[in-house]
C-alpha cells in the first residue's frame, strides 16, 4: 500500500501471521506495528514515536530519529541505529539478542540508562562504560540514573546486548 506520508499523522499495522515491511517513513508522527508471528522490518523512521510489539519474529530497524518502544517475546532485535536519544526509550526482549548503534556524539552522562540481561552478556564499544558493567549471576547490567527526559531502558531475559 502506498500512501503519501504527508496525509497521515499516525500509522498502525497489525498482523497475526506475516511479515511487516515499512520503507521511507519520515513524515509521520507516530508508528505502531504489531505482529504475532513474522518479522518486522523498518528501513528508517523520523517522527515523534515508534512502537513495536512482536510475539515471535525478528525485528530489523534502520535509522530512527524519535522515541522508541519495542517489546518482543521470541526473536532478535538485529539492528537499530539511533540518530539521537529522545524521550524515554524502552526495549524489552524475553528471548533474543539485541544489537543497537548509538550516536557517536552521545555523552552518556547526559542520559539515564538501565541496560540489563538476566542470562547473557553486554558488549560495549565504549571503554568507560565497559568498566561500569556489573555481573548478576549469569547476567549483567549497567545503570546510570535518569538525568531528565532522555532515557534508554533496555532489558533482555535470555540473550546478549551489543551496543556500538
User: Does residue 159 register a pLDDT over 70?
Assistant: yes
2 HSE (CA, 13 A, CB side)? 0
User: Does residue 110 register a pLDDT over 90?
Assistant: no
- Cβ within 8 Å of residue 63, ≥6 positions away: 44, 45, 81, 83
pLDDT value for 1:
62
Give the C-alpha separation, 107 to 135, whole Å: 24
Across the chain, the runs of DSSP E, i.e. the strands, are 10-17, 20-22, 30-37, 40-56, 59-74, 77-82, 88-95, 98-100, 112-119, 122-124, 134-136, 139-144, 151-158, 161-163
Quote the domain boundaries for residue 148.
5-163
pLDDT value for 123:
95
pLDDT value for 3:
63
Q: What is the pLDDT of residues 36-89, one digit of tens each?
A: 999 999 999 998 999 999 999 999 999 999 999 999 999 999 999 999 999 999
pLDDT value for 27:
75
Q: What is the pLDDT of residues 122-131, one digit of tens each?
A: 999 887 788 8
What mean pLDDT value characterizes the chain? Answer: 91
| C-alpha 31, offset from chain centre | 14
Sign of the CA dihedral 108, 118, 14, 19? Answer: positive
Number of domains in the chain: 1
pLDDT value for 60:
97
| Cell numbers placing 61 | 530497524
User: Does residue 24 register a pLDDT over 80?
Assistant: no
Rounded to 5 degrees, φ, ψ at 149 are: -100, 15
Percent of the chain with pLDDT over 70: 95
pLDDT value for 32:
97
Amino acid at each position: 500500500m502506498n500512501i503519501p506520508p504527508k496525509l497521515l499523522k499516525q500509522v498502525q499495522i497489525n498482523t497475526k501471521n506475516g511479515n511487516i515491511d515499512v520503507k521511507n517513513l519520515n513524515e509521520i508522527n507516530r508508528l505502531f506495528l504489531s505482529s504475532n508471528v513474522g518479522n518486522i522490518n523498518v528501513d528508517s523512521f523520523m517522527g515523534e514515536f515508534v512502537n513495536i510489539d512482536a510475539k515471535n519474529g525478528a525485528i530489523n530497524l534502520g535509522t530512527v530519529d524519535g522515541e522508541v518502544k519495542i517489546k518482543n517475546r521470541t526473536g532478535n532485535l538485529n539492528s537499530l541505529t539511533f540518530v539521537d536519544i529522545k524521550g524515554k526509550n524502552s526495549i524489552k526482549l524475553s528471548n533474543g539478542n539485541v544489537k543497537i548503534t548509538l550516536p557517536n556524539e552521545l555523552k552518556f552522562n547526559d542520559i539515564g540508562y538501565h541496560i540489563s540481561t538476566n542470562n547473557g552478556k553486554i558488549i560495549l564499544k565504549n571503554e568507560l562504560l565497559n568498566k561500569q558493567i556489573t555481573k548478576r549471576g549469569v547476567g549483567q547490567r549497567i545503570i546510570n540514573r535518569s538525568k531528565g527526559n532522555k532515557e534508554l531502558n533496555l532489558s533482555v531475559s535470555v540473550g546478549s546486548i551489543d551496543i556500538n
